[in-house]
A and B are shown apart, each in its own frame.
Chain A
Amino acid sequence: MAEILLEIKKMSKNFGPIVALKEVDLTVRRGEIHGLIGENGSGKSTITSIAAGMQPASSGEMFFKGQPWKPDSMVHAQAQGMSMILQEANTIPNCTVAENLFAGQEDRFSRFGFVNARKMNREADALLAKFGLKHIHGRDNINNYGFEDRKLVEIARAVTDETEILVVDETTTALSFEGREILYKLMHDMAAKGKAIIFISHDMDEILQQCTVLTVLRDGEIRGTLNREQMTAPGAVSEIRKLMVGRDIGDKFYRSDYDPSCSDEVVLSFEQVTTAQIKDFNLEIHAGEIVGLGGLSGCGMHEIGRLAFGVGDIDSGHVKLRGEDIKDSVDAVGKGIGYISKNRDLEAVILEAPIGVNIVQPSLRDLGKNVFIRPSEERKMTREQIDLLAIKCANGSQWVNTLSGGNKQKVSFAKWIAKGSSFIIMDCPTRGVDIGVKQAMYQLITDMKRESKAILMISEELAELIGMADRMIIMKDFQVAKEFTRSPELTEADIIEYMI
């Protein structure tokens, strides 16, 4: 057995009356890619955030490289060799890539108080090349890069030669296939060098492929630890799911029927839509139909979602809801369209606001028809949605930023269910959400179909599209590459070739 790198003994963490971790023991050895899996709120991120210095534990001990370990900050932890990459974006906007990479170390490049930008850019390019990120350049403004590239820059910033443990916290949901490959390669390289990775993900396939050890958590307790053999044994997946959820949810959590029929009524139509990048795009979505839109992250599917909501400039053509042009987001919501943005924390919910405020926000214009908005109606609407979606919270006045990722996502669903929108655009609706919540959301989407709502589901997860959509449109380079109809025979392999 390899040397122990990090040892956690009887660690507990309370947030007021709520217990997030109960006397957890965890051992990470050199050369391990140690997976942590569990539902939202099971304590995965709590463990790693304590180990990486984001917050202190309530009780318990930690040993890192054989020494007692009590980091006071993430900066301190990183200097000692414990780095962490998070789910949400963490780069500094309006700066160059090089400035982001070397933030806090400008002294290395300065003489007489002037930073030698060329030297910094050169070193940045060399560093990026080391990570296989040749398409990113140190001198460019970070804003010119998409979410995924910014995430990769963050990875390059977090990992140094001194890094002993790298915590990857649900980072891969932000990455496309290529980005993931780069990260996996980095993880395996580090493990081969005798370092260790703690890998948090909701994606079971990814966990099973990448990890050498897997620890399953539920309700702040460790429910099981599996080695490589146990992970690859037949039936391992359902076993792990059972450990996570505490009950057998089976393999099927997508729609069970394979009936792609829907009404003839066209709800949304794209007619010869042309923008700076998209050329002559046509699409019709019918009442009671789930249309899945898939492809690589830069294929234009997210842009289509925004256009369907009336956001973005159209050069020619029309986006119409039941035959009427959609002017802007105000008009779109008025016509019964709902939009769940991929960028949840910045666009889909107001973090710094109570759950209730978020849920009623799109509906205020209906409630306020006679100027006066009855607080009792707001409370009723909030309570109904919290119950319907089983949002884990104390009450509707709890702030959204105190909720776990899955529950935040439930709030962004609740907004449009409360509003009663007849057409809902979902951009990566299950991003960063655990299987328990995922199952609930798929059920919800199925129910929406049954209520004759039209749904445009944009997703980077093919399994989800295959499992849920009546019709699947695969995009490549801002064009439709292929269309598939719902069928039990359809597999990911059939689709991938049209994406790349």
Chain B
Amino acid sequence: MGKTIKNTWFQTHLTDLLSYAGLLLCIVVFSILSKGKLWSAYNLGILVQQTCVYAILAMGAIFIYSMGYMDISLGAQLGVYCLLLILITNASGSLVLGFCSILAIAIVCGLINGYVSVKLGLPSIVTSIFLNAVFGGAQMLIMERLGTNSVSMTTKLKFFKQMPVMLAAIVIIAVISVFLYQFTQLGKHAKGIGANETATSISGVNTTKWKVLAYVFFGFCIAVGALFLTARTNSAGKGTGAGYAMDIMVSLLLGGMPLSGGMRSKISAALVGSFTYVILANGLILSGVNTTLIYIIKAIVFMAVILMTCRKPSGVLPR
């Protein structure tokens, strides 16, 4: 009682401030450590290429994380889509056909991912482990059949490698995401499910439907991400997509996304987070840090962010 506290602006925006400060810190530190190489025209191109894929994937993932769910099948899905995109485009000569095919598969997978977990009453992490295994297996199988280590695009996707196109893609996906997230039932219900699924369902929200739709949008983002990743590397192989699921999770955390989802979720976490993450990863390499150490540094950053954002003091009252 008497708890009619109005949180101060500082308190409510603490995680925002922390994530922006983190981005700023990364920029400053790595600008100095890399002796300005971070901002060379060449490296800027690389930064945009990397950010483009990460940001698109992260914005799709926001819808899943908002519901308090996680997805670890992202990397394996991405790998298979890249492979299929190349194979279908090479065989048919039509990029449109290739992209539409992977888009269709991605959306169907989204449906399965969402619907199966609801209908079987499984935690979504379980279905995503299942999908991860299926796609990982599919990737191996395709490579085995081809008998090569990697496949390449016969016609290069120059158009999707141009900086303005990549920036435009980020902006377009961001506009779509913000619209869906802020101004439609999809985003509002995703947050509601994350904050309190029971209360949301008692408010008459068809939680199954909105979960499935959130996964469908996520699938759409993975397909678009696969297109830009393929344009960047021009080839795909056994290792394509590996590590992306973790990278996206870390990016979102760096952007201030709460792991439990709910009302504090926001699209800006995907953008800020993926920028921070890309600058961190890229900056470490430019600063001459041994590549083998980079994984350990990423792990430490991951722990530090978790400790800062997710830890809660708790205790049990004894009798």
Point out residues on A near B: beta carbons under 8 Å: 13, 15-18, 20-21, 40-46, 73-75, 78-79, 90, 92, 101-105, 156-158, 160, 220, 309, 311, 329-330, 332-334, 339, 341, 346-354, 357, 361-362, 364-365, 368, 371-375, 392-394, 398-399, 402-405, 415
Q: Which residues of chain B are within 8 angstroms of A352 by Cβ–Cβ distance?
A: 195-196, 262-263
Asked if residues A399 and B319 are in contact (CB atoms below 8 Å), the reply is no
State the Cβ distance, A14 to closest chain B Cβ, in Å. Answer: 10
CB-contact partner of B3 in A157, A330, A348, A404, under 8 A = A404
Chain A residues with CB under 8 Å of B4's CB are: 15, 18, 20, 41, 392-394, 402-404
Q: Which residues of A contact B189 (CB under 8 A)?
A: 364
7 contacts between A and B (CB under 8 A): A75-B317, A104-B316, A334-B204, A350-B263, A361-B200, A394-B6, A403-B4
The 8 closest A-B pairs by CB, nearest first: A333-B204, A20-B2, A104-B318, A15-B5, A45-B1, A350-B196, A361-B203, A46-B2
Using Cβ atoms and an 8 Å threshold, which residues of chain A touch B316?
A: 92, 103-104
Q: Is B184 in the interface zone, CB < 8 Å from A?
A: yes
Closest to B206 in A: A330
The closest CB in chain A to the CB of B313 belongs to: A73
Question: Which residues of the partner chain B approach A20 to less than 8 Å between Cβ atoms?
Answer: 1-4
Give A393 to B5 CA distance when docked, in angstroms: 9
- Given A75-B315, A329-B201, A368-B184, A398 contacting B6 (CB threshold 8 A): yes
Give the residue of A45, A334, A350, A354 whose beta carbon is less than 8 angstroms from that of B2: A45
| CB of A54 to closest CB in B, whole Å | 11
Q: Is B199 a contact partner of A350 (Cβ separation < 8 A)?
A: yes
Chain B residues whose C-beta falls within 8 Å of the C-beta of A92 in the assembled complex:
316
Q: Is B8 an interface residue (CB 8 A)?
A: yes
Q: Residue on B with the closest CB to A421?
A: B204
Contacts of A357 in B (CB 8 A): 188, 191-192, 263
Whether B199 lies near A13 (C-beta < 8 A) is no
Contacts beyond the supplied A348-B199, A357-B192, A361-B188: 16 A-B pairs with Cβ under 8 Å: A20-B4, A43-B1, A75-B315, A105-B319, A156-B319, A157-B319, A329-B202, A350-B196, A352-B195, A353-B195, A353-B196, A353-B263, A361-B192, A373-B185, A399-B7, A403-B4
Contacts A350-B192, A352-B195 given: A103-B200 contact, CB under 8 Å? no
Q: Is B118 an interface residue (CB 8 A)?
A: no
Interchain CB contact under 8 A, B185 and A364 = yes
Q: CA A306 – CA B222 in complex, angstroms?
A: 41
B47 touches A (CB below 8 Å): no
Nearest-neighbour CB distance to chain A for B259, whole angstroms, equals: 14
Minimum Cβ distance to chain A for residue B216 (Å): 15
A103 to B196, CA, bound (A): 27
**Which residue of chain A has its CB nearest to the CB of B204?**
A333
Within 8 A of A (CB), among B175-203: 182-185, 188-189, 191-192, 195-196, 198-203
Is B205 located at the chain interface by the 8 A CB criterion? yes
A166 vs B165: C-alpha distance in the bound complex, in angstroms?
Answer: 68
Considering the complex, give the chain B residue whose CB is closest to the CB of A393.
B4
Is B183 a contact partner of A375 (Cβ separation < 8 A)?
yes
Q: In the complex where A78-B318, A339-B202 touch, is A46 in contact with B1 (Cβ < 8 A)?
A: yes
Complexed CA–CA distance, A220 and B1 (Å): 10
Distance, CA A195 to CA B19, complexed state (A): 52
Q: Please report the C-alpha to C-alpha distance between residue A350 and residue B195 in the assembled complex, in whole angstroms.
A: 7
A368 touches B185 (CB 8 A): yes
A362→B263 contact, CB < 8 A: no
For B2, list chain A residues within 8 Å (CB). 13, 15, 18, 20-21, 41-43, 45-46, 220, 404
Interface hits, B295-319 → A, CB 8 Å = 315-319
Cα distance, A364 to B1, chains bound together (Å): 31
Q: How far is the CB of B253 from chain A (nearest CB, A)?
A: 19
Q: Which of chain A's residues has its CB closest to B180's CB?
A: A371
What string of 1s and 0s marks CB contacts (under 8 Å) between B96-112 and chain A?
00000000000000000
Q: How many Å lie between the Cα of A21 and that of B5 in the bound state?
A: 13
- Known contacts A16-B6, A220-B2, A404-B2; A103 and B318 CB within 8 A of each other: yes
Shortest B189–chain A CB gap in Å is: 7
- Which residues 1-52 in B have Cβ within 8 Å of A in the complex? 1-8
Contact partners of A415 in chain B: CB under 8 A:
203
Given known A103-B319, A350-B196, A352-B262, contact A402–B5 (CB-CB < 8 A): yes
Interface residue from B183, B195, B198, B317 paired with A347 (Cβ < 8 Å): B198
Q: How far is the CB of B206 from chain A (nearest CB, A)?
A: 5
- Which of B183, B184, B199 makes the CB contact (< 8 A) with A346? B199
CA distance A398 to B192 in the complex (A): 16
Q: Are A346 and B203 in contact (CB under 8 A)?
A: no
The residue in chain B whose Cβ has the minimal distance to the Cβ of A394 is: B6
| Interface pair B5/A372, CB less than 8 Å apart | no
- Chain B residues contacting A105 (CB-CB under 8 Å) are 318-319
A334 (CB) vs chain B CBs: closest residue: B204
- A352 CA to B66 CA, complexed, in Å: 13
Central interface residue in A361, A365, A402, by most chain B CB within 10 Å? A361
Contact A350 B318 (CB under 8 A): no
CA distance A172 to B205 in the complex (A): 33
Nearest-CB distance from A41 to chain B (Å)? 5
Residues of B near A17 (CB, < 8 A) are 6
Contact of A16 among B5, B191, B317, B318 (CB under 8 A): B5
Chain B residues with CB under 8 Å of A90's CB are 317
Residues from chain B with a CB closer than 8 A to the CB of A372 are: 183-184
CA distance A371 to B196 in the complex (A): 23
* Interfacial chain B residues near A220, Cβ < 8 Å: 2
Docked Cα-Cα span, A346 to B197, in Å, equals: 9
CB <8 Å contact, A353 and B192: yes
Q: Are A373 and B183 in contact (CB under 8 A)?
A: yes
Q: Quick check: B7 and A402 within 8 Å, CB to CB?
A: yes
In the complex, residue of chain B having the shortest beta-carbon distance to the beta carbon of A395: B6
Specify the chain A residue showing the minimal Cβ separation from B8.
Answer: A16
Q: How far is the CA of A199 from the CA of B234 in the complex (A)?
A: 73
Return the contact of B199 from the options A44, A349, A399 (Cβ within 8 A).
A349
B203 x A362 contact (CB < 8 A): yes
B318: A residues at CB distance < 8 A: 75, 78-79, 103-105
Set of chain B residues within 8 Å of A40, measured between Cβ atoms: 1
State A349–B203 Cα separation when bound (angstroms).
9
A45-B1, A353-B262, A394-B6 as given contacts; A361 in contact with B319, CB under 8 Å: no
B177 to A: closest C-beta gap in Å: 15
A18 to B2, CA, bound (A): 8
Which chain A residues border B191 with CB–CB below 8 Å? Answer: 353, 357
Task: Give every chain B residue within 8 A of A311 (Cβ-Cβ).
Answer: 202
Give min CB distance, B10 to chain A, whole Å.
11
Inter-chain contact A365/B192, CB cutoff 8 Å: no
Do A348 and B202 have beta carbons less than 8 Å apart?
yes
* Residues of chain B contacted by A346 (CB below 8 angstroms): 196, 198-199
- In angstroms, Cα B198 to Cα A392, docked, is 25
Write the nearest CB–CB distance from A458 to chain B, whole angstroms: 15
CA distance A426 to B8 in the complex (A): 35
User: What CA separation (Å) do A301 and B137 show in the bound complex?
Assistant: 53
The contact of A15 among B3, B204, B319, by CB within 8 Å, is: B3
Given known A-B contacts A349-B199, A354-B263, A404 and B1 have beta carbons under 8 A apart: yes
Complex CA–CA separation, A404 to B203 (angstroms): 21
A276 to chain B, nearest CB (A): 20
* Interface set, chain B 203-235, CB cutoff 8 A to A: 203-206
